[in-house]
Amino acid sequence: MKRILCLSAAAALVVALCSCSAVDNGKASRSGAKTVNDVLNEAQSGDSGKTDNSEGEFVGDGEKSIADIKCDIDLTKMESNMVTATVNDFYINPENYIGKIIKAHGTFGVYEMPGRNYYLCVMTDPTGCCSPSVEFLLKNERKYPGEYPAMDTEITVIGEFETYFEDGKKYCQLKDALIN
Amino acid sequence: MALIACKNLTLGYGGRVIVKDLNFAVNTGNYLCIVGENGSGKTTLMKTLLGLTPAISGGIVLGDGLKRNEIGYLPQQTAVQRDFPASVYEIVLSGFCGKSGIAPFYTAAQKKEALENIRKMGIFDLKGRCYRELSGGQQQRVLLARALCATSKLILLDEPVSGLDARATEGMYSIIEKLNKEEKITVIMISHDISAALKYATHILHIGADCFFGRREEYISLKKAEVTDNE
Amino acid sequence: MSEIMEKLYFYIQFPMVRKALIVGVLIALCSSLLGVTLVLKRFSFIGDGLSHVAFGAMAVAAVVGLTNNMPLVLAVTAISAILLLRTGTNTRIKGDAAVAMISVGALAVGYLLMNVFPKSGNVSGDVCTTLFGSTSILTLSKKEVLLCIILSAVVMAVFVLFYNKVFALTFDEDFARATGTRTSAYNLLIAMIVAAVIVLAMNLVGSLLISALVIFPALSSMRVFKTFRSVTVCSAVLSVICALLGMLVSIVTGTPVGSTIVVVDIFSFLIFYLIGLLKEGVKK
Mean of the per-residue pLDDT values of chain C:
85
Closest CA in chain A for residue C256: A81
3-state secondary structure chain A: CHHHHHHHHHHHHHHHHHHHHHHHHHHHHHHHHHHHHHHHHHHHHHHHHHHHHHHHHHHCCCCCCHHHCCCCEEHHHCCHHHHHHHHHHHHHCHHHCCCCEEEEEEEEEEEECCCCEEEEEECCCCCCCCCCEEEEEECCCCCCCCCCCCCCCEEEEEEEEEEEEECCEEEEEEEEEEEC
Helix (H) or strand (E) holding B129: none
- Kindly state whether C230 is in contact with chain A, defined as any CB-CB distance less than 8 angstroms: no
Q: Using a CB-CB distance cutoff of 8 angstroms, which residues of chain C are in contact with residue B87?
A: 226-228
Per-residue burial over C219-250, b if 16 or more Cβ lie within 10 Å, else e, is bbbbbbbbbbeebbbbbbebbbbbbbbbbbbb
Instruction: Select from C6, C10, C16 the residue whose CB has the most chain A CBs within 10 Å, as the one to mutate to test that interface.
Output: C16
| Shortest distance, CA C269 to any CA of chain B (angstroms) | 17
Assign residue C106 the CATH number of its domain.
Answer: 1.10.3470.10
B interface residues, C as partner, C-beta within 8 Å: 13-14, 50-52, 67-73, 75, 80-81, 84-87, 90-91, 93-95, 97-100, 104-106, 128-130, 133, 146-147, 150-151, 156
- Tell me what pLDDT residue A22 has: 52
Give dist(CA C57, CA C63) in Å, integer: 10
Which range of B153-157, C42-46, C181-185 scores highest in mean pLDDT? It is: B153-157
Whole-complex ipTM:
0.88
Sequence-distant (≥ 6) Cβ neighbours of residue C249 within 8 angstroms: C255, C260, C264
What is the DSSP secondary structure assignment for residue B84, as one 8-state letter? -
- Kindly state whether C228 is in contact with chain B, defined as any CB-CB distance less than 8 angstroms: yes
Comparing CA positions, the residue from C126, C133, C127, C99 lying closest to residue C201 is: C133
Q: Domain of C129?
A: 2-277
Q: Which amino acid is at C92?
A: R
Chain C residues 140-159 with CB within 8 Å of chain B: none
- For C214-254, write each residue's pLDDT tens digit: 899 999 999 999 999 999 999 999 999 999 999 999 888 88
- Tell me what pLDDT residue B88 has: 94
Nearest CB to C171 within list B69, B91, B100: B91
Cβ separation of A130 and C128 shorter than 8 Å?
Answer: yes
| Shortest distance, CA C166 to any CA of chain B (angstroms) | 10
CB B92 within 8 A of CB B149: yes
Nearest CB to B51 within list C90, C162, C178: C178
Closest CA in chain A for residue C128: A129
Residue A40: pLDDT band by 50, 70, 90 thresholds?
very low
- Kindly state whether C254 is in contact with chain A, defined as any CB-CB distance less than 8 angstroms: yes
Q: Using a CB-CB distance cutoff of 8 angstroms, which residues of chain C are in contact with residue A85?
A: 14, 16-17, 20, 135, 138-139
- Tell me what pLDDT residue C216 has: 94
Nearest CB to C122 within list A82, A89, A131: A131
CB pairs under 8 A between A and C: 62
C282 within some domain: no
- For A51-83, write each residue's pLDDT tens digit: 333 443 344 433 556 677 788 888 888 888 888
Comparing CA positions, the residue from C39, C41, C42, C43 lying closest to residue C218 is: C39
- Tell me what pLDDT residue C120 has: 62
How many structural domains are present in chain C? 1
What is the DSSP secondary structure assignment for residue C13, as one 8-state letter? T
CB pairs under 8 A between B and C: 94
Nearest CB to B84 within list C40, C174, C178: C40
- Tell me what pLDDT residue B34 has: 92
Chains that touch C (3 or more CB pairs under 8 A): A, B
Nearest CB to C254 within list A81, A86, A92: A81
Cβ separation of C129 and A82 shorter than 8 Å?
Answer: no
The pLDDT of A99-108, averaged and rounded, is 89
Q: Using a CB-CB distance cutoff of 8 angstroms, which residues of chain A are in contact with residue C139?
A: 84-85, 88-89, 92
Closest CA in chain A for residue C257: A81
Give dist(CA A74, CA A102) in Å, integer: 6
Q: Which amino acid is at C70?
A: M
The pLDDT of C52-61, averaged and rounded, is 86
Q: Residue C168 pLDDT > 60, yes or no?
A: yes
What is the number of other CB atoms lying within 10 angstroms of the CB of residue A75? Answer: 23
Give dist(CA C239, CA C241) in Å, integer: 6
The pLDDT of A22-40, averaged and rounded, is 43
Q: Is the dihedral of CA A106, A107, A113, A118 positive or negative?
A: positive
Q: Strand B31-36 to strand B186-190: parallel, antiparallel, or no bridges (unpaired)?
A: parallel
Which range of B86-100, C6-20, C34-48 scores highest in mean pLDDT? It is: B86-100
The pLDDT of A27-42, averaged and rounded, is 41
Mean of the per-residue pLDDT values of chain A:
73
C263 within some domain: yes
Give dist(CA A159, CA A66) in Å, integer: 10
Cβ separation of B90 and C167 shorter than 8 Å?
Answer: yes
Comparing CA positions, the residue from C100, C87, C110, C86 lying closest to residue C48 is: C100
Give dist(CA C128, CA C112) in Å, integer: 14
Question: In this structure, what is the dihedral angle of CA atoms B143, B146, B147, B148, given to the nearest 10 degrees?
Answer: 130
- Tell me what pLDDT residue A55 has: 40
- Kindly state whether A153 is in contact with chain C, defined as any CB-CB distance less than 8 angstroms: no
- Kindly state whether C3 is in contact with chain B, defined as any CB-CB distance less than 8 angstroms: no
C244 within some domain: yes
Chain C residues 80-119 with CB within 8 Å of chain B: 90
Q: Residue A30 pLDDT > 60, yes or no?
A: no
Alpha helices in chain B (DSSP H): 42-50, 79-82, 88-93, 108-120, 136-150, 166-181, 194-200, 216-230
Give dist(CA C30, CA C240) in Å, integer: 9
Chains that touch A (3 or more CB pairs under 8 A): C
Cβ separation of C138 and A126 shorter than 8 Å?
Answer: no
Q: Residue C102 pLDDT > 50, yes or no?
A: yes
Cβ separation of C14 and A82 shorter than 8 Å?
Answer: yes
The better pLDDT of the pair C94, A171 is held by: A171
Residue B2: pLDDT band by 50, 70, 90 thresholds?
confident
Nearest CB to C227 within list B51, B90, B95: B90
Q: Using a CB-CB distance cutoff of 8 angstroms, which residues of chain A are in contact with residue C135?
A: 81, 84-85, 88, 130
Nearest CB to C225 within list B68, B85, B156: B85
CB C134 within 8 A of CB C256: yes
Cβ separation of C128 and A127 shorter than 8 Å?
Answer: yes
- For B151-179, write each residue's pLDDT tens digit: 889 999 999 988 888 888 999 999 999 99
CATH class of A8-179: mainly beta
C283 within some domain: no
Percent of chain B with pLDDT over 70: 100
Q: Could you tell me the CA-to-CA distances from B85 to B124, B132, C18, C177, C227 in Å, in that order? A: 18, 7, 36, 21, 6
3-state secondary structure of C92: coil
- Tell me what pLDDT residue C277 has: 92
Cβ separation of C257 and A86 shorter than 8 Å?
Answer: no
Cβ separation of B52 and C174 shorter than 8 Å?
Answer: yes
Q: Residue C264: phi, psi to the nearest 5?
A: -60, -40
Q: CA-based angle C41:B96:B204, to the nearest 5?
A: 90
Comparing CA positions, the residue from B120, B126, B69, B119 lying closest to residue B96 is: B69
Q: Using a CB-CB distance cutoff of 8 angstroms, which residues of chain A are in contact with residue C11?
A: 82
| Single pTM value for the model | 0.81
